[in-house]
């Protein structure tokens, strides 16, 4: 679950705009005093940012917000709110922003921080276990739809870069962090932002942000499983699928770690277990029970959050998306998402 490098980001937001009248806290970190400029220089600095420059930040912001929130719907809402705040500013203030990318990142980070704070209360009232929203691979054919390798899509799911930092096991570890830990860790370790910039977003000192990221890093390392080659992951998931389809309980038990855990998320909208199922034997029995109870299920091998996973369809409609944590020869954890609100990227037609 190591985190990859990201492209270099925009300069610190604290240096992104000229001196302006007092404004709301979200914008205030973007302001600094500067000496008076010559008219020609002022005209150059204060030119309005091109719409394409602002719109071009959307993919990066969606990637950031999804990793911070674990919810594609909430990530899209956060990015939309970020853009709403940008376009709500008078043109004069927009022209004063020296780095729109830095401004957008800071505002999006603060919005996500607020959402994370309130999410803990909402998730305490959530029915059953809460699992991050699973993401499909846009290059795979799914439900009769395909997106070409060179095509662009407005679907937020298609904006997410599928790498180790969206692996389901990694996102689940992030859920155990405090909001400030998560923001500091993701911005620094995944997106390579310096602590001085992160401090402005979480309202802490750079030293405190460094400690937050270090604490988060220890959590990730403690939960990190040994790396398994991609081919080995694909083969193990395929054998698991075949054993489930054959209702071969012995084969399932043999593929499951004795201490394996299965967590399901129905959100109170569909039937599923409300507590994790623990132990390879019990998981195998439960899966056979599901197969007997719901005849007509079709299992498909699909990439889930960048890793081999399974999708269960009924009458051609995805009803469950399963992500796995694996060793070289055993399944150690299954995350089964059944909440239909979290399966929209898998079921709704893509926007073009």
Side-chain-facing half-sphere of 202: CA atoms under 13 Å: 31
Please state the rounded mean pLDDT for residues 129-148.
Answer: 70
pLDDT at 8 over 90: no
At 175-191, the pLDDT tens digits run 999 999 999 999 999 99
CA nearest neighbour of 331 among 243, 272, 205, 213 = 243
Q: How far is CA 257 from CA 91, 239, 241, 309, in A?
A: 59, 14, 16, 17
Residue 37 has pLDDT above 80, yes or no: no
pLDDT, tens digit (0-9, with 9 covering 90-100), for 45-103: 456 667 788 888 999 999 999 999 999 999 999 999 999 999 999 999 999 988 999 99
pLDDT, mean over the chain: 83
- Separation CA 100–CA 57 (nearest Å): 9
For residue 76 the two structure tokens come to 């899209």
When pLDDT is cut at 50, 70 and 90, the band that residue 302 belongs to is very high
| Confidence (pLDDT) at 141 | 45
pLDDT score of 13: 40
The residue ranking higher by pLDDT, 37 or 303, is: 303
User: Parallel, antiparallel, or unpaired for β 331-337 and 256-265?
Assistant: parallel
Half-sphere CA count of 188, side-chain side, radius 13 A: 26
Burial class (CB in 10 A: 0-12, 13-18, 19+), 106: buried
pLDDT score, position 163:
75
- Confidence at 157, pLDDT banded by 50, 70, 90: low
What is the share, in percent, of the chain residues with pLDDT greater than 90?
Answer: 63
pLDDT band at residue 158 under the 50/70/90 scheme: low
Q: How far is CA 244 from CA 26, 74, 256, 283, in A?
A: 52, 34, 12, 11
The three-point CA angle 65-338-225 to 5° equals: 65
Specify the pLDDT at position 153: 52
Q: Which of 16-20, 69-73, 117-121, 338-342 has the lowest mean pLDDT?
A: 16-20
Tens digits of residue pLDDT in 194-246: 999 999 999 999 999 999 999 999 999 998 878 888 889 999 999 999 999 99
pLDDT, residue 47, reads 60
pLDDT at 238: 97
Span 152-172, mean pLDDT?
A: 74
pLDDT at 225: 79
* Band of pLDDT at residue 151, cut at 50, 70 and 90: very low
Q: What percent of the chain has pLDDT over 70?
A: 79
pTM of this structure = 0.80
Closest residue by Cα to residue 306 from 188, 139, 151:
139
State residue 212's pLDDT score: 97
Rg (CA), the chain: 23
pLDDT tens digits, 235-274: 999 999 999 999 999 999 999 999 999 999 999 999 999 9
Kindly report the number of other CB atoms within 10 A of residue 221's CB atom. 11
Average pLDDT on 322-332 reads: 95
- What is the DSSP code string of 239-261? HHHHHHHTT-HHHHHHHEEEEEE
């Amino acid at each position: 679950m190591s985190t990859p490098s990201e492209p270099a980001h925009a300069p610190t937001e604290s240096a992104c705009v000229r001196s302006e009248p007092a404004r709301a806290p979200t914008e205030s970190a973007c302001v600094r005093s500067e000496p008076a400029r010559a008219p020609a220089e002022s005209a150059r600095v204060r030119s309005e940012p091109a719409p394409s420059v602002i719109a071009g930040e959307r993919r990066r912001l969606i990637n950031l917000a999804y990793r911070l929130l674990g919810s594609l719907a909430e990530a899209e809402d956060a990015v939309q709110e970020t853009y709403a705040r940008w376009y709500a500013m008078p043109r004069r203030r927009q022209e004063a922003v020296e780095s729109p990318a830095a401004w957008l990142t800071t505002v999006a980070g603060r919005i996500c921080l607020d959402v994370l704070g309130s999410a803990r209360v909402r998730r305490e009232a959530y029915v059953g276990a809460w699992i991050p929203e699973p993401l499909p691979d846009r290059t795979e054919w799914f439900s009769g739809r395909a997106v070409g390798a060179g095509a662009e899509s407005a679907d937020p799911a298609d904006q997410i870069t599928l790498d180790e930092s969206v692996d389901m096991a990694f996102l689940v570890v992030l859920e155990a962090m405090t909001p400030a830990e998560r923001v500091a860790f993701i911005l620094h370790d995944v997106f390579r932002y310096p602590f001085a910039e992160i401090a402005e977003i979480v309202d802490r000192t750079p030293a405190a942000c460094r400690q937050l990221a270090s604490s988060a890093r220890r959590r990730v390392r403690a939960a990190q499983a040994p790396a398994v080659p991609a081919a080995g992951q694909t083969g193990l998931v395929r054998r698991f699928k075949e054993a489930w389809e054959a209702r071969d309980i012995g084969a399932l038990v043999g593929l499951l770690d004795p201490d394996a855990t299965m967590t399901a998320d129905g959100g109170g909208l569909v039937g599923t277990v409300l507590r994790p199922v623990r132990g390879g034997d019990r998981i195998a029995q439960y899966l056979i029970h599901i197969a007997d109870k719901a005849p007509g299920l079709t299992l498909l091998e699909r990439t889930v959050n960048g890793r081999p996973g399974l999708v269960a369809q009924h009458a051609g409609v995805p009803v469950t998306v399963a992500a796995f944590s694996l060793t070289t020869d055993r399944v150690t954890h299954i995350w089964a998402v059944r909440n239909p609100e979290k399966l929209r990227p898998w079921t709704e037609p893509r926007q073009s």
